[in-house]
């Protein structure tokens, strides 16, 4: 896959959830802010002489990394923090880096970004092959350098912990899998990282994930997949075809090809067999999404156990209340207050109300 390889094309609109590709990283223009001068560390090489050797190193750039299982609210946290910290966001979800399938991969919409610049989100052409961790490390490093040059704070957010490890590890070997337990996790990082782990109780999270799948289908996910299978050779898009929803519907679209009335809500009466095949796909998507969340939590625990300083914030209470669907204005106000209290705990800003945790504010060094 070529780096950089962002590609902008006009995609058909399915619903208001549809997003647009972002501008590519421009590496031909030099960064307008030079790096700080190197810090000299003097060390005597020989106690019998007065000579010394100067070792130079660059001050590490500060970045905020928001981690957590799929669906735990990382995206919303990143937007709310970015609007308060003068930041730009770098996507670290390995499916959302590709152009296309915006509903299926659950990309944040243009409206929900609230003007916050996003990088590596829907920028890569899936026909160019699968994005490797090494390529992501290069592209992410360029994005961080550009953001720092604008004197903004880079916020890395996404559920693909393998990409996060590849990006921030000082020494990265793409041949080693640090999450299988047989290889050590790099504890030397090339950035000054503040890791924020948004954690939600797994039973609560899985209940929400199942509900989210239904909402995505109601928003046009099946129509999006139908067009995807009907217009491209999905087998050639090695990376994007791994997105949850694509392989699960593979057998369905082979049996009911796109254009044969496979979509919902287009005036076609489904027979019992077709309805059963559709429901089997949906059930499999929900199960695989919950299994993905479990694996992601396992990888986060692996990084934490290896010594990464992850600041865990238990969002279960706030998550349960905020994600509750209601039309009651009083409950909506209570949900908003609860969410602001949760953000206040992260930021250490007390004017939003009583803090819901006893931990110290985790972003003090970034403010």
Task: Report yes or no: 129 and 36 within 8 Å, Cβ to Cβ.
Answer: no
- The predicted pLDDT at position 57 comes to 56
Query: What local confidence, expressed as pLDDT, does residue 253 receive?
Result: 92
Task: Compare 238 and 364 and report the one with higher pLDDT.
Answer: 238
CATH H-level superfamily of 62-206+289-366: P-loop containing nucleotide triphosphate hydrolases (3.40.50.300)
In the chain, where are the structural domains located?
Answer: 62-206+289-366
pLDDT at 237: 81
Q: Give the pLDDT score at 327.
A: 52
Q: Looking at the predicted structure, is the pLDDT value of residue 195 above 90?
A: yes
pLDDT at residue 115 greater than cutoff 50: yes
Residue 165 confidence (pLDDT) above 50: yes
Which residue pairs, CB below 8 angstroms and at least 24 apart, start in 106-111?
Answer: 106/212, 106/216, 107/19, 108/19, 108/75, 108/79, 109/16, 109/17, 109/18, 109/19, 110/19, 110/20, 111/16
> What pLDDT is stored for residue 71 in this prediction?
92
Higher pLDDT, 258 or 164: 164
pLDDT average, residue stretch 9-22: 36
pLDDT band (50, 70, 90) for residue 181: confident
Which residues does 365 contact at the CB level (< 8 Å), separation at least 6?
62, 194
Q: What is the pLDDT of residue 202?
A: 94
Q: What is the mean pLDDT of residues 248-273?
A: 73
Helices (H), ranges, 202-271 = 202-218, 221-231, 250-255
Question: Is residue 47 predicted with pLDDT exceeding 50?
Answer: no
pLDDT tens-digit series, residues 54-91: 444 568 999 999 999 999 989 989 998 999 889 999 99
Q: What is the mean pLDDT of residues 253-257?
A: 90
Is the pLDDT confidence value at 250 over 50?
yes
Take residue 306 and report the two structure tokens written for it.
């290896």
Q: Which residue has the higher pLDDT, 183 or 356?
A: 183
Q: What is the pTM of this model?
A: 0.76
- Provide the pLDDT for residue 231: 77
Report the percent of the chain where pLDDT is more than 70: 67
Q: What secondary structure does DSSP assign to 218-230, as a single string? A: HTTHHHHHHHHHH
Provide the pLDDT for residue 154.
Answer: 96
Residue 37's pLDDT is: 41
**pLDDT digit string (tens) for 310-354?**
989 888 887 777 666 555 555 555 555 555 556 555 555 332 233
DSSP 43: E
Strand partners, 157: 66, 91
Average pLDDT score, the chain: 77
Confidence of residue 271 (pLDDT cuts 50, 70, 90): confident
Beta bridge partners of 91: 157
What's the CA dihedral at 3, 7, 13, 16 to 10 degrees?
A: 50
Beta bridge partners of 57: 39
């Amino acid at each position: 896959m070529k780096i950089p390889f962002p590609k902008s094309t006009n995609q058909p609109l399915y619903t208001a959830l549809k997003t647009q590709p972002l501008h590519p990283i421009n590496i031909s223009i030099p960064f307008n802010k030079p790096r700080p001068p190197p810090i000299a560390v003097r060390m005597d090489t020989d106690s019998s002489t007065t000579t010394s050797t100067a070792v130079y190193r660059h001050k590490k750039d500060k970045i905020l990394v928001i981690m957590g299982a799929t669906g735990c609210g990382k995206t919303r946290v990143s937007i709310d923090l970015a609007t308060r910290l003068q930041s730009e966001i770098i996507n670290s979800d390995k499916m959302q880096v590709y152009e296309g399938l915006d509903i299926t991969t659950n990309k944040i919409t243009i409206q929900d970004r609230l003007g916050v610049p996003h990088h590596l989100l829907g920028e890569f052409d899936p026909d160019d092959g699968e994005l490797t961790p090494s390529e992501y490390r290069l592209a992410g490093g360029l994005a961080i350098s550009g953001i720092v040059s604008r004197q903004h704070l880079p916020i890395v957010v996404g559920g693909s912990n393998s990409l996060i490890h590849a990006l921030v590890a000082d020494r990265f070997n793409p041949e080693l899998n640090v999450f299988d337990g047989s290889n050590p996790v790099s504890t030397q990082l090339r950035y000054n990282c503040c890791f924020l782990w948004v954690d939600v109780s797994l039973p609560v999270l899985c209940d929400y994930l199942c509900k989210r799948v239904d909402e995505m289908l109601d928003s046009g996910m099946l129509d999006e997949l139908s067009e995807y299978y009907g217009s491209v050779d999905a087998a050639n898009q090695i990376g994007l075809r791994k997105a949850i929803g694509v392989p699960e519907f593979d057998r369905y679209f082979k049996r009911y090809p796109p254009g044969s009335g496979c979509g919902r809500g287009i005036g076609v009466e489904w027979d019992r067999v077709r309805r059963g095949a559709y429901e089997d796909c949906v059930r499999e998507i929900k199960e695989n999404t919950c299994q993905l969340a479990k694996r992601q939590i396992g990888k986060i625990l692996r990084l934490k156990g290896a010594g990464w300083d992850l600041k865990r914030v238990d969002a279960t209470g706030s998550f349960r209340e905020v994600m509750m669907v209601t039309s009651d204005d009083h409950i909506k106000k209570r949900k908003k207050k609860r969410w602001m209290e949760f953000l206040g705990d992260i930021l250490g800003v007390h004017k939003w109300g009583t803090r819901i945790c006893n931990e110290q504010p985790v972003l003090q060094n970034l403010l």
